[in-house]
């Protein structure tokens, strides 16, 4: 069965390097001299990897076999693939600056039209990209399609196939060491990647799609990049969620095909808790952005909501942690029910040059997020009705809240998820339920 790709620990690094060393030992063939395979096309090979390109073979392209060796070592470890068997699988990479040169050489015969990249059996095709990072992203994306085809017989439903490829393509390369399935900290670390902007633009235009809709995406080309980005987000969410991941793992047991069978089985296995899947998905999407950390930011509401007892009092007090995201008010609101919310305290929302920026529940007006002052106390209302969007509103030091429907109230400090890492402190919240 397919295992998740999460942010690695030092132990994971050690295991990866042991496997990489094994992989290198198995790779005994030397790099062949560059030769012309067709007019205008250069060819070089190392181990099981062959590159055909009309572009200059610079240091970046020369590094691809090493990068793929590292990726393969990770895939073998994570997906329990025998490295010796995987070593026998050849892959030819076609990196195209001028597509016509490859067409004239007959190298695109039988290959469907494609915009950026394509995988067909033991061949992948890449169109030149505006940055080395994004070209590597595309290489790893298509190579993921290839390894799933080789190891599992297919990639699963379209959202899973493309989402997994997007996860593996999103990488970090530092000191020639490759990390897969990362969540980037900042735009400058992933030039021309643009996935978070694409998600933001999609939400602004069409709202947040329900997870079930993503699970039944097809292969049509319309709005292709929107679907790729939402498939990536869905894979990050489901493959790292402590409750839902075992269900994904079970339904993605090889062999895989390219049908919707995986989606149908996953929906069926989670049918009795699907409402909670959609609620957790809404909260995930609301925060998902630069610097998102799965171990601390991913929310699981079901256990907390099911454990809420009928309150014996209409006065509630809670300490809100300034370092965390959405935090549940342990009271089930009915439609029309109100509450007076008051907050007090100071907390740190940023540290610069060893100087702490302290905020009150009203926030700091010289920096904004959601068009709301950074550090301001905000609320979110999650309806029992999953057809309704997640409602976000300002709270500050005092707010009169009224539930628009049956549901749950959540609170947090207003700040982007990646900027919470230097926060500290808490504030006292009091609610007078009406």
Span 166-198, pLDDT tens digits = 999 999 999 999 999 999 999 999 999 999 999
Q: How many domains does the chain have?
A: 3
**Residue 1 domain-assigned (yes or no):** no
Residues 160 and 51 in one domain: yes
- Give the DSSP letter of residue 124: E
Q: What pLDDT shows up at residue 222?
A: 78
Query: Which range has the worst mean pLDDT, 16-25, 191-200, 411-420?
Result: 16-25
Residue 394 to residues 85, 388, 413, Cα–Cα distance (Å): 57, 19, 10
* Contacts of the segment 358-365: beta carbons below 8 A, 24+ positions apart: 359/413, 360/397, 361/395, 361/396, 361/397, 361/427, 362/396, 362/397, 363/396, 363/414
Tell me, yes or no, whether 40 and 156 share the same domain: yes
Residues 17, 98, single domain; the answer is yes
Examine the pLDDT at 369 and tell me if it is beyond 50.
yes
In a domain, 302, yes or no: no
Element counts in the chain: helices (H) and strands (E): 15, 20
In a domain, 333, yes or no: yes
Q: Is residue 382 part of a domain?
A: yes
Q: Which residue has the higher pLDDT, 387 or 18?
A: 387
Q: Is the pLDDT of residue 5 over 90?
A: no
Looking up residue 102, the CATH number of its domain turns out to be: 3.40.30
CB hemisphere CA count around 197 (13 angstroms): 7
Q: Is the pLDDT of residue 349 over 70?
A: yes
**How many Cβ atoms sit within 10 Å of the Cβ of residue 94?**
25
Mean model confidence pLDDT for the chain: 91
186 C-beta neighbours (distance < 10 Å), count: 9
Is the per-residue pLDDT at 353 higher than 70?
yes
**Mean pLDDT along residues 233-242:** 97
Is 37 domain-assigned? yes
Using CA of residue 63, residue 195, residue 267, residue 247, what is the dihedral sign? positive
Q: pLDDT per residue over 376-392, tens digit each?
A: 999 999 999 999 999 99
pLDDT score, position 314: 86
Backbone angles phi, psi at 17, to 5 degrees: -70, -35
Q: Both 74 and 201 in a single domain?
A: no
State whether 197 and 168 are in the same domain. Answer: no
Tell me, yes or no, whether 206 and 331 share the same domain.
no
Please report which confidence band the pLDDT of residue 352 belongs to, taking 50, 70 and 90 as the band edges: confident
Domain-ending residue, one of 154, 179, 204: 179
Q: What is the pLDDT of residue 411?
A: 98
Which pLDDT score, from 0 to 100, does residue 3 have? 59
User: Is the torsion defined by CA of 198, 202, 207, 213 positive or negative?
Assistant: negative
Cα distance between residue 241 and residue 295, in whole Å: 9
pLDDT band at 29 (very low <50, low <70, confident <90, very high): very low
Cα–Cα distance, 234 to 327 (Å, whole number): 22
> Which of 112, 146, 179 is the last residue before a domain boundary?
179
d(Cα 395, Cα 107) in Å, to the nearest integer? 61
One domain for residues 23 and 171:
yes
Rounded CA separation 348/323 (Å): 9
What is the reported pLDDT for 37?
56
Report residue 47 CA to chain centroid gap: 31
The 10s digit of each residue's pLDDT in 105-143 is: 999 999 999 999 999 999 999 999 999 999 999 999 999
* Helices 274-287 + 224-240 axis angle, to 10: 110
| Lowest mean pLDDT segment, chosen from 17-31, 47-61, 349-363 | 17-31
- Per-residue confidence (pLDDT) for residue 166, from 0 to 100: 98
Query: Are 429 and 345 in a shared domain?
Result: yes
264 and 288: one domain? yes
Residue 410: HSE in the Cβ half-sphere, 13 Å Cα cutoff: 26
What count of Cα atoms within 13 Å lies in the side-chain half-sphere of residue 231? 26
Orientation of helix 10-26 relative to helix 64-79, angle to 10°: 120
Q: Give a yes or no: residue 5 inside a domain.
A: no
Same-domain check for residues 71 and 145 = yes
Domain end call among 296, 318, 338 = 296
Query: 252 Cβ partners below 8 Å, 6+ apart?
Result: 1, 2, 156, 160, 262
Instruction: Please indicate, yes or no, if residue 261 is contained in any of the structural domains.
Output: yes
Alpha carbon distance 170, 188 (integer Å):
14
**Residues of the domain holding 221:** 187-296
Position 4 in a domain: no
Question: CA torsion sign, 240 to 64 to 149 to 190?
Answer: positive
């Amino acid at each position: 069965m397919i295992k998740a790709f999460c942010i690695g620990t030092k132990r994971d690094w050690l295991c990866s390097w042991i496997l990489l060393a094994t992989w290198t030992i198995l790779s005994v063939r030397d790099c062949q001299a560059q030769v012309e395979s067709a007019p205008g096309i250069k060819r070089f090979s190392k181990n099981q990897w062959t590159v055909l390109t009309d572009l200059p073979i610079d240091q970046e392209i020369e590094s691809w076999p090493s990068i793929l060796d590292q990726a393969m070592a990770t895939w073998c470890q994570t997906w329990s693939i025998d490295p010796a068997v995987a070593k026998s699988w050849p892959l030819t990479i076609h990196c195209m600056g001028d597509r016509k040169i490859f067409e004239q050489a007959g190298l695109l015969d039988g290959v469907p039209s494609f915009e950026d990249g394509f995988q067909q059996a033991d061949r992948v095709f890449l169109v030149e990209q505006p940055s080395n990072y994004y070209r590597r992203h595309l290489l790893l994306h298509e190579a993921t399609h290839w390894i799933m085809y080789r190891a599992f017989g297919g990639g699963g439903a379209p959202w899973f196939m493309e989402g997994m490829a997007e996860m593996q393509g999103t990488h970090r390369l530092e000191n020639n060491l490759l990390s897969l399935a990362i969540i980037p900290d900042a735009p400058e670390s992933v030039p021309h990647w643009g996935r978070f902007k694409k998600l933001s633009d999609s939400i602004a235009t069409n709202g947040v799609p329900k997870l079930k809709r993503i699970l039944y995406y097809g292969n049509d080309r319309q709005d292709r990049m929107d679907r790729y980005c939402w498939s990536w987000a869905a894979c990050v969410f489901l493959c790292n969620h402590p409750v839902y991941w075992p269900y994904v793992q079970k339904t993605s047991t090889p062999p895989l095909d390219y049908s919707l069978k995986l989606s149908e089985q996953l929906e069926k296995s989670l049918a009795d808790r699907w409402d909670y899947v959609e609620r957790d998905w809404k909260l995930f999407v609301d925060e998902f952005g630069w610097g998102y950390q799965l171990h601390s930011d991913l929310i699981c509401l079901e256990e907390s909501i099911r454990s809420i007892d009928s309150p014996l009092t209409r006065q509630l007090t809670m300490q809100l942690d300034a370092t965390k995201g959405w935090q549940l008010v342990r009271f089930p609101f009915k439609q029309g029910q109100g509450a007076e919310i008051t907050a007090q305290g100071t907390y740190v929302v940023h540290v610069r040059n060893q100087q702490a920026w302290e905020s009150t529940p009203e926030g700091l007006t010289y920096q904004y997020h959601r068009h709301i002052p950074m550090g301001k106390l905000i609320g979110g209302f999650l309806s029992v009705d999953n057809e309704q969007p997640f409602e976000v509103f300002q709270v500050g030091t005092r707010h009169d809240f009224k539930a628009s429907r049956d549901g749950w109230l959540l609170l947090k400090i207003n700040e982007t998820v990646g900027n919470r890492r230097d926060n500290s402190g808490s504030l006292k919240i009091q609610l007078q339920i009406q």
